[in-house]
């Protein structure tokens, strides 16, 4: 297991760090760092775990992740298969308003940007209407140097302040104050669930991974994720099921997807699927293809 606190190597001549990566999969460990992170997913699919929340990501998504918020871009299982030909691509930006840039953020002209970051200290998912504009800015920053880079970064911050009704990455009462020991333990738990969700996972199994009694584990998991263990497990399974249903071509694909994502009965799968997505599996597939076909008309 990698060390949970993640230290970015900050060059002496830069206050804003940018990177563009192309890899078989995203960094596979839950981690955190002092810097805010802005990431545009160019290619790749999976699940973003941030603080006590979890949501799917796909190409085109842009996220702002708060400083010291534990996070993990968990690539889908197929990205870990050798010779799959799949890759992820992403462009990311890192900056610390309380570090080397603190004097900049203390300027009167930065009041709105500073207020925006404080209001969204745990991070947000950028609304779809704003993603392309911000993605273009991220690429421009990555290709810039010196004063030009700094000016473009300030323009990006200004764009952030115009965003309305963004989806928070974590609940309002989430606190990122988590010890290194707790972080490593939580990382072990989540990685175990993500790697074994297709199989039967009992409360006893996951409690042993955490070196806790089942009762203590339930309290611990709810405290740090905001979810009951079974709810988290079901969300992981349904996220994978949604993707597989769209890719399925056989008439019996719903039953195949149900069993391949860890459910032991179609009835239970249908019930859980509707409670999480608001639709039955059949309605979910029909709605997807109806919207997909409609988009080709324009």
17-168 matches 197-294 in fold: no
pLDDT at 251 exceeding the cut of 60: no
* CATH architecture entry for 197-294: Orthogonal Bundle (1.10)
pLDDT of the residue at 177: 65
pLDDT in tens, 254-274: 999 999 999 999 999 999 999
pLDDT > 70: percent of the chain: 88
Domain residue spans in the chain?
17-168, 197-294
Mean pLDDT, residues 230-251: 81
CA dist 154 and 160 (Å) reads: 10
pLDDT in tens, 121-151: 999 999 999 999 999 999 999 999 999 999 9
Contact between 136 and 169 under an 8 Å Cβ cutoff? The reply is: no
* CATH architecture entry for 17-168: Sandwich (2.60)
pLDDT band at residue 178 under the 50/70/90 scheme: low
Mean pLDDT, residues 46-71: 89
CA dist 63 and 34 (Å) reads: 16
- Phi (first) and psi of residue 205, to 5 degrees: -60, -50
Count of alpha carbons within 13 angstroms of residue 104, beta-carbon side = 15
- Phi (first) and psi of residue 87, to 5 degrees: -140, 160
Q: Which residues contact 265 (CB under 8 A, 6 or more apart)?
A: 258
């Amino acid at each position: 297991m990698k060390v949970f606190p993640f230290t970015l190597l900050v060059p002496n001549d830069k206050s804003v760090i940018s990177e563009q990566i192309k890899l078989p999969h995203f960094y596979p460990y839950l981690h955190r760092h002092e810097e805010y992170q802005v990431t545009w997913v160019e290619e790749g699919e999976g699940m973003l775990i941030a603080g006590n929340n979890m949501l799917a990501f796909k190409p085109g998504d842009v996220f702002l992740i708060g400083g010291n918020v534990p996070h993990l871009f968990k690539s889908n299982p197929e990205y870990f298969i050798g010779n799959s030909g799949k890759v992820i691509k992403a462009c990311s930006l890192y900056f610390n308003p309380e570090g080397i840039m603190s004097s900049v953020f203390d300027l009167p002209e930065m009041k709105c940007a500073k207020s925006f970051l404080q209001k969204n200290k745990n991070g947000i998912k950028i609304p779809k209407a704003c993603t392309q504009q911000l993605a273009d800015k991220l690429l421009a920053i990555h290709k810039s140097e010196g004063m030009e880079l700094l000016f473009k970064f300030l323009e990006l911050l200004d764009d952030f302040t115009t965003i309305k009704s963004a989806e928070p990455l974590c609940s309002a009462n989430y606190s990122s104050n988590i010890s290194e020991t707790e972080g490593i333990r939580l990382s072990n738990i989540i990685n175990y669930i993500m790697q074994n969700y297709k199989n039967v996972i009992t409360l006893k199994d996951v409690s042993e991974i955490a070196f806790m009694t089942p009762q203590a584990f339930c309290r611990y998991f709810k405290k740090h994720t905001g979810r009951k263990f079974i709810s988290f497990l079901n969300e992981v399974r349904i996220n994978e099921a949604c993707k597989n249903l769209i890719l399925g071509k056989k008439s019996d694909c719903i039953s195949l997807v149900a069993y391949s994502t860890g459910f032991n009965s179609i009835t239970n799968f249908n019930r859980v699927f509707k409670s999480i997505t608001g639709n039955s599996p059949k309605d979910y597939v029909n709605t997807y293809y109806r919207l997909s076909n409609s988009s080709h008309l324009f």
